Structure 1
């Protein structure tokens, strides 16, 4: 059995690791020359995603690349503490959330995929995927073609694989939020705490980083899609005006020494076709979620798909089993992400109600409400197969 993975980000690299652990031949095709570059801001991995990394044998590498963040505090615009909870876990879980730059996570996963024996080809953009009698043929913009038993589309929210699988698939729409992040210096911030301020114009996140730095991200509520061509100085002036009512975010913006370019946040309607007999979507290509769970959900997908391929007698049966295992959990996560997004775009009355009710709700209900998410364990990969086992299984698939 051999597999083509489209996309060398978190979902694609994790899938390559999982499949190589089973002895499957894997080639990852990535459109960008350097997908592990410092593109975008930081992200967080919750306990459910970290369990997957442990199953794949890369937990320690990722922990070393990031920041241990055991706690989370939520603040109102007026700096009232709304909640103080474990970050991305329940209170009894010793597996602390990890926050790291997206590029660092991709780099760690890609390195492990290469060590595991996956091939990674960069600068190749998928333009067609044709199901054949014995598998699937991928066609790239360069004219290169490749054939495999299975093609996995792990190419993100603007997935080319999704459009090829279903020409009528929904397309991403601006969600009324955009994110812009940066690094500040000289601001005293308690280590190990992920701070989330529900500001008047959108959420503001910050945490202590190595070297006395502060990583921050502003998730700005804006019904109209913003003009992205501003200079860094213009963006900082703009943000300073938006967050002038919030003392800590204002101070962090004033102390900013590095700015990352803004990213539009998108929503995507439910995708009716996520697979056929030889092609499957993974991660954001099949179900963008956000809410701090995009990477963790992609990791879960990668492990469950590998487990299904190991357990089922055919690729068709494996893809059906994968969809059955993931569908309810993903649907619940998509709903939670939508609620999370709405909280960041709340109007004055909704903000007043939230500030009034949230301290009580967090204290009484937080762990019970999030247990389904953070305690989830996808399990382990099957024991590594011998070459003979892998060849025999490949013939059956």
Structure 2
């Protein structure tokens, strides 16, 4: 079997490596002319994502470019701690990563293993034949394989080829701003990420001796403004939205317009109706796009890459493999997408809901919102890649 993987991001590189471990040859085709250096802000790779990477021998390469952050601290707008989550026992700590460094680490690891990647290959159309799938690219070239995997993100061209009526990404009501700046002397946060429910926006930060990671999720009725307004506008928005937020305003006071890039639009798709048809299948955000609030986008992409490779390795035919893969993944990822949607609503809470949250959260943290109850089912999940995917 040989496989064409459309998309050279997190899901694409991880899928190619998982397929190689399964004895399946794969070639990655990336639309952009080079790797995504300098693109994106930050993300978290959770313990379940790290365990998945370990099964294909890629965790060390990723850990080398990340920061281990086993804990998180929740604060209100006054800076008061209202909750704390520590890492779960017997699990690796989460990794805080610059998004482009994660891309680079995974792609470099794939290339070092002899996996072929071709850049500047923007997908134009797909032929889904009985015995092969053919990708046609905008530059006039084509690639045929026994299987074609769409790992091309939330606006997947492969998904549109599978199902022209597929649901479009859903705007969550939040815009995301963030980045890294030099630390001029603010106190470090240790090994915890901090998340603050501000009066008018949600703020997150991590501070070490050298740098500050910051991000803000700003409620906005119309996401179109994100594509047109200049950085100075967004710096003014940040100052206004976080004027009363003790954890945020000192960091925002350090920002210059060039530190504030164009906002990202937080989106998801609750259910992708069609994951596969014929010899074409989706993986990662192409199949199950969750908003960044889940903290699980990268981890779920890696998990799905393992389940797909395992099914293709063990099933008697492609149709059975795709069905096994979807059965193993759909319920879990859609539950995570729904949980992230609830978090987005909490980030944009009104004044009454905010007061109730601040009052109840310390109590809930000891009962219904304990770390085990909040994260155990997600972080403890493990894809048994070495075991057969065929039901007993």
Which range, TM-score by smaller chain? over 0.9
Match of 2:130 among 128, 133, 142: 133
SS of the residue corresponding to residue 232 of structure 2 reads helix
Report the equivalent of 2:109.
Answer: 112
Q: Is the 8 A contact 2:129 2:278 kept in 1?
A: no
Inter-partner Cα distance in structure 2 for 1:250 and 1:76: 13
Correspondence 1:370 to 2:368: no
Correspondence 1:272 to 2:270: no
Give the drift of 1:237. 2.1
Inter-partner Cα distance in structure 1 for 2:201 and 2:158: 33
Correspondence 1:208 to 2:237: no
Report the equivalent of 1:14.
Answer: 14
TM-score, scaled relative to structure 1: 0.92
Inter-partner Cα distance in structure 1 for 2:364 and 2:157: 42
Give the drift of 1:226. 5.2
- After superposition, the CA RMSD in angstroms is 1.6
For 1:285-304, list aligned pairs within 5 A: 285-290=286-291, 291-304=294-307
SS of the residue corresponding to residue 139 of structure 2 reads coil
Inter-partner Cα distance in structure 2 for 1:238 and 1:368: 36
Inter-partner Cα distance in structure 1 for 2:179 and 2:113: 34
Q: Is the 8 A contact 1:171 1:268 kept in 2?
A: yes
For 1:1-397, list aligned pairs within 5 A: 1-86=1-86, 89-90=87-88, 92-184=89-181, 185-186=183-184, 187-209=186-208, 211-225=209-223, 227-228=225-226, 229-256=228-255, 258-290=259-291, 291-365=294-368, 366=370, 367-381=372-386
Q: Is the 8 A contact 2:77 2:196 kept in 1?
A: yes
Q: Is the 8 A contact 1:183 1:213 kept in 2?
A: yes
What do the CA deviations read for 1:262-320 (whole angstroms, capped 9, x no partner)?
A: 11111324111110121111111111113111000001000111111111111111111
Q: Is the 8 A contact 1:28 1:121 kept in 2?
A: yes
Inter-partner Cα distance in structure 2 for 1:323 and 1:143: 32
Inter-partner Cα distance in structure 1 for 2:90 and 2:261: 33
Q: Is the 8 A contact 2:23 2:313 kept in 1?
A: no
Q: Which moved more, 1:154-163 or 1:364-373?
A: 364-373
Q: Is the 8 A contact 2:13 2:107 kept in 1?
A: yes
Inter-partner Cα distance in structure 1 for 2:47 and 2:167: 31
Give the drift of 1:382. 6.2
Give the drift of 1:346. 1.1
Describe the shift of the 1:204–1:112 C-alpha distance in structure 2 as closer, same or farther (beyond 3 A): same
Inter-partner Cα distance in structure 1 for 2:219 and 2:355: 17
Paired residues, number: 379
Inter-partner Cα distance in structure 1 for 2:141 and 2:385: 36
Give the drift of 1:94. 4.4
Inter-partner Cα distance in structure 1 for 2:9 and 2:73: 29
What do the CA deviations read for 1:48-98 (whole angstroms, capped 9, x no partner)?
A: 101011111011111110111121000111222111112xx42x1341110
Inter-partner Cα distance in structure 2 for 1:281 and 1:67: 30
Inter-partner Cα distance in structure 2 for 1:232 and 1:223: 19
SS of the residue corresponding to residue 177 of structure 2 reads strand
Describe the shift of the 1:369–1:238 C-alpha distance in structure 2 as closer, same or farther (beyond 3 A): closer
Inter-partner Cα distance in structure 2 for 1:162 and 1:19: 21
Give the drift of 1:352. 1.3
Give the drift of 1:183. 2.3
Inter-partner Cα distance in structure 2 for 1:3 and 1:325: 21
Higher relative contact order (Cα pairs below 8 Å, separated by 6+ residues): 1
Describe the shift of the 1:215–1:369 C-alpha distance in structure 2 as closer, same or farther (beyond 3 A): closer
Unaligned runs of 5+ in 1: 384-397
SS of the residue corresponding to residue 78 of structure 2 reads coil
What do the CA deviations read for 1:204-248 (whole angstroms, capped 9, x no partner)?
A: 110024x52110011111122252333333322221111001022
SS of the residue corresponding to residue 304 of structure 2 reads helix
TM-score, scaled relative to structure 2: 0.93
